[in-house]
Chains A and B, each alone.
Chain A
Amino acid sequence: MSAPRELLRSVVVAGGGLTGVLAALALRRALPATQITVISMPQNAAAFADRAANALPYAHRFLERLGLPEDRIVLQAGGSHRLMTRYFGWSGEGSAAAFPYGAITDPALLTGFVRDWGGGRRGANVQTPPGSVAEMLADAGRYQPGLPGVEHALRWHPASLRDLAIGMAASLGVQHIQGRIGAVRLDAQGIAAGFLVEGAGEIAADLFVDCTGPAASLLAQMPGAERIDWSASLPVREVFFGKPGQPVLALEDRVSLTPAGWLHQMPGRDGLQRTLGVARTANEQSVVAALGGEPVDRAAFVPGRASAAWLGNVVALGDAAAVFEPLMGLNADFALRQIDLLLELLPGHDIVRDIFPGERDEYNRRTALLAGNVRDLLGAHYCSAAAQSLFGPIAVSDTLELAVDQFTRRGRTPFFEESPLLEQERASLFSALGLPRGRGSLPAVDDTDSAREFAGRMRAVLQAAPPYPQWMAGVLQHAREAQS
């Protein structure tokens, strides 16, 4: 007869950045009777998940489960919508290509072949629809949430979202202390009995969640802690942040190849954010030229991941588990997926006796797969001729080589477990990154009729959608009226 595990009695979340606060909130919702304490400390500049102002479509669905629905993020945390990212220069100078979210929206335009045969997970021989809905909406500047078949990602103001989550966590009884993390005290089994916290003495807990950023202050002290270096796979070592520009409401982000490196321009209600991932050949002049002014901040880092993100009773999340450049919204996406996975595999109080490594092994197996996908998606940014002439060659992992080879020769996107992108999204991304899509095996079919029908439906969607600024103004106006 199966017996329930004993609930965790106490959890300490080290790190009061966005990752730590959201992890604490998630744990509090899952474990209403467990003592949950956040220890906050100064943030590292390269804690990219903590300073992330955007993520992938998965993020807002997860945040909603934490009690942070999209409308609250729009009203209280500067939220805005991104339908796609446009990549400039990846296919050579002057080129521009869209990377929209979501599966291709018109089922008739999919090659139903593998979807039907394989149960819908594999995305082989996918075709691009004649004009993506997201691209049409972004070009027209028209949008409102809830349009059929349109997928979006959310942008936000990181400090406001963090404040919102802190308020919620505090009202639910999450404790908070401040102080730097000191030495660990291990018990005989190699389980962390407690960590010294400056000014607070030793803090004990059943489970420690390390959200301390790239330093991984807790995990790094655990026996067996090791780091896997991604330096050969990802060329960028430093990121510069520009002075925020004027607020812009737009449905697309832009990522451009400049002589200094890649430049991400993200519109937002609190100003246009510019981030520059520099190539080794960049100099001060080219950095200033790319950012349109002097940088206001910079962050140096070495890309890589913890070989095991969960050791003993310490679980590292986000920047503490993997460090990589802030592109695509993957940093927050990775951190949130890890929180989700921890909730799925949440251990019981028995973790302090370290009697069962199964959940830890499964967590580490899946986190490694997820991190490998992240590394490969970022690595794909450095595979085109244009990117390589700027950043130089990279070491291509077996999985990235398979993905690029199959895509460029055969138009296939092999399925990878724990991928943050759908196969069709990966296909769009690769195309946008200057990797020309190969032809599929199936003979071309005449899709004139379905294309015409698709275009008709898209016109209807476009007409139904208001100009995005108008929609946003209406929402904010309505909220102000409701308040007063």
Chain B
Amino acid sequence: MGEANSKAVRIVVLGGGTAGWMSAAALARLLGPKARVELVESEDIGIVGVGEATLPHIRGFVERLGIDEARFMAATHATYKLGIDFRDFGRIGESYIHPFGSFGEELAGVPFHHYWLELHRQGLADDIGAYSLGVMAAKANRFQPPATDQSLAGTYGYAYQFDATLFGPFMRDFARGLGVKRTEGRVTHVERDATSGNVTELVLESGERIGGDLFVDCSGFRSLLLGDALGEGWEDWSHWLPCDRAAALPCEHVTEEIQPYTTATAMPAGWRWRIPLQHRVGNGYVFASDFVSEDEACAAILGAVEGKPLADPRVLRFTAGRRKRSWQNNVIAVGLASGFLEPLESTSIYLAQMAITYLIELFPDAAHGGAIDPRDRDEFNRLVDMEYDRVRDFLILHYHATTRDDSEFWNHVRTYQVPDTLADKLELWKRAGRIAKYADGLFYDASWIAVYIGQGLLPETHDARTQLPDPAQTSRAMDAFHAAVAQEVAAMPGHREYLLREAARLAPVPEGLAA
């Protein structure tokens, strides 16, 4: 025991928001005796805590930490999420769901969407969402976990919508149960080694000094260690992603049913989210302050929510971009301290989770020399950059693929020049209806297809082979697929019903759900 402790890497996590407690919990749980985790936070500093919608990867995080899903969902008032309903993005009045799942089935080696494009041209195709179980289940407000096999019932995934102000504390309690030490205090000074430049100690307002081997910067937008102390450069993406504020506003439920999906509705100078939880609905207007004032944005969100507001609008400020390197010296930034991408595709918690994953994979423990190997740091930065860059391009697509010309904001995003990496993908789609393939990072073929087609960006051409089968036959096959989807959906319980059933396993029924 004594020996294990002496070899343990002393990790100091700065910041007690979502990223901070996720980091502390995962590092303590998974590294065990290899690490001694301490977290410094100040009650005076609020947390952002609006990342209420997640991606399916969060389930792996919860499961890996050995947390029971039902208990976790009850504690965070969580609901299930099958995708995001995007409204008014491509054109006002149009909407589509980007599901955690696929569309149709390929035929003779040609992807489904080419046949869909062909039948659509002939006026024989339904909305492409009609061929996706994830989409149709969401639209019907139904939910059950997917099958784990290759059948139709296994063609979708799910995530959670939860109360982020409860998720952080849930992770905190979990982490503290694992022996993570919490220190209250505000950092006034960062002590660095004169030779290596490494951070050695955090000096708190009280004069207390917190020493460590490794510092995980979860201080949010302030980026106190990586940004301020180490001066790591910033790659600014606000030209492409001009939204720099969010006005958050929770409200009451007005409908009986709880939607198993998040809604993102385009606004004149950004978009607003609607995230149904068990006990309330989270709302927020993500806007660009160059195009709309804070007051106007707050008024807009107050006017847009359907239920009774539960608070005054709270405004958050941010800039899209990321640190040039997320790991520098012995400081690793996780979450907003490392970069920011607006929550249009619910990627914030995913990006924090991946950074934690990579940190653990590349952890400088005693078995790996105890010191940080620059090659591991480079590898971490390569992976984190890849994650950010892929998400960035996909987000830009949501703005750029539009015909909207009703505001200055939409004129700007519609007409700007996109990054080359996205321009190549767009060109391949526009000309030939093909998706540039990659298998690492986030967002594969189905996601791109959902947004391209959903936002009305149809390609000029599609695969010639779609003309080979008899159109009547293709049409019948597509109808049969649609019918099979409808049958699966009909067999699913309602979302609220499923939530109640799950919650019943843990008495008492959470108050938000009780009728």
Contacts and interface: CB of A to CB of B under 8 A. Distances in A.
B357 A358 contact: no
Interface stretch (A182-190, A321-329, A343-351): A343-351
B54 interface: no
B504 interface: no
A362 B121 contact: no
B464 interface: yes
A409 B378 CA distance: 14
A117 B379 CA distance: 18
B462 A5 contact: yes
A119 B431 contact: no
Contacts of B462: 2-5
Given A114-B357, A116-B63, A409-B368, A4 B428 contact: no
A93 interface: no
B69 to A, nearest CB: 13
B184 to A, nearest CB: 30
A119 B360 CA distance: 17
B440 A415 contact: yes
B490 interface: no
Contacts of A345: 434
Contacts of B34: 441, 443
A319 B363 CA distance: 42
A414 interface: yes
Given A114-B361, A119-B57, A121-B440, A8 B464 contact: yes
Interface in A355-383: 356, 358-359, 361-362, 366
A410 B109 contact: no
B427 interface: yes
Interface string A322-346: 0000000000000000000001111
A406 B365 CA distance: 15
Interface string B403-433: 0000000000000000000001001100111
Contact of A443 (B32, B60, B439): B32
A112 interface: yes
Given A113-B30, A117-B353, A417-B439, A2 B117 contact: yes
A206 B292 CA distance: 54
Contacts of A456: none
Contacts of B477: none
Contact of A118 (B33, B57, B120, B375): B57
Interface in B457-479: 458-468
Contacts of B64: 112-113, 116-117
A32 interface: yes
Chain B interface size, under 10 / 10 to 19 / 20 to 34 / 35 or more: 35 or more
A410 B373 CA distance: 11
B368 A1 contact: no
B28 to A, nearest CB: 12
Interface in A386-431: 402, 405-406, 409-410, 412, 414-415, 417
Given A117-B353, A359-B428, A443-B33, A4 B60 contact: no
A32 B468 contact: yes
Given A5-B463, A356-B431, A442-B360, A30 B108 contact: yes
A441 B460 contact: no
Interface in A1-57: 1-8, 30-33
Contacts of A442: 30-31, 360
B367 interface: yes
Instruction: From A2, A4, A114, A438, name the one whose CB has the most chain B CB atoms within 10 angstroms.
Output: A2
Nearest to B458: A2
A124 B432 CA distance: 36
A32 B365 CA distance: 60
Contacts of B109: 30, 65, 343-344
Contact of B464 (A2, A6, A113, A366): A6
Interface in B94-112: 108-109
Given A2-B120, A358-B432, A417-B439, A117 B60 contact: yes
Most buried by A among B118, B428, B466: B428
A414 B30 contact: no
A409 B428 CA distance: 40
Given A113-B30, A114-B361, A118-B357, A33 B439 contact: no
Interface in B437-495: 437-440, 458-468
B503 interface: no
Contacts of A114: 357, 361
Contacts of B30: 113, 442
A117 B431 CA distance: 35
Nearest to A345: B434
A417 B363 CA distance: 24
B436 interface: yes
Q: Which of B56, B357, B464 has the most CB of A within 10 A?
A: B464
B315 to A, nearest CB: 33
Contact of B463 (A118, A346, A405, A438): A346
B361 A405 contact: no
B204 interface: no
Contacts of B354: 117-118
Interface string A113-130: 110111101101100000
Contact of B436 (A65, A112, A348, A362): A362
Contact of B431 (A122, A358, A410): A358
A189 to B, nearest CB: 17
A441 B360 contact: yes
Given A117-B60, A410-B368, A348 B461 contact: yes
A442 B117 CA distance: 48
B461 A2 contact: yes
A221 to B, nearest CB: 26
Contacts of A119: 56-57
A358 B424 CA distance: 8
Contacts of B375: 405-406, 409
Contacts of A3: 121, 460-462
B201 interface: no
B461 A5 contact: yes
Contacts of A343: 109
B61 interface: yes
Nearest to B444: A119
A440 B367 CA distance: 9
A439 interface: yes
A344 B118 CA distance: 17
Given A32-B468, A358-B434, A441 B463 contact: no
A1 B121 contact: yes
Nearest to A343: B109
Given A2-B121, A439-B367, A442-B30, A410 B458 contact: no
B362 interface: yes
A117 B465 contact: no
Nearest to A441: B363
A2 B33 contact: no
A412 B368 CA distance: 12
Contacts of B294: none
A348 B4 CA distance: 65
A442 B56 CA distance: 23
Contacts of B232: none
B325 to A, nearest CB: 17
Chain B CB within 10 A, most for which of A30, A348, A417, A441:
A441
Interface in B36-94: 56-57, 59-61, 63-64
Contacts of A405: 375
13 contacts: A2-B118, A3-B121, A4-B466, A117-B357, A118-B354, A119-B56, A356-B431, A358-B431, A409-B375, A410-B362, A412-B362, A417-B440, A441-B362
Interface of B: 30-34, 56-57, 59-61, 63-64, 108-109, 117-118, 120-121, 353-354, 357, 360-363, 365, 367-368, 373, 375-376, 379, 424, 427-428, 431-434, 436-440, 458-468
**Considering the complex of A and B, which 7 residue pairs feature the smallest CB-CB distances, nearest first?**
A116-B60, A5-B464, A358-B428, A441-B363, A7-B464, A348-B464, A2-B117
Given A2-B118, A6-B464, A405-B375, 4 more contacts: A2-B121, A5-B462, A359-B432, A359-B434
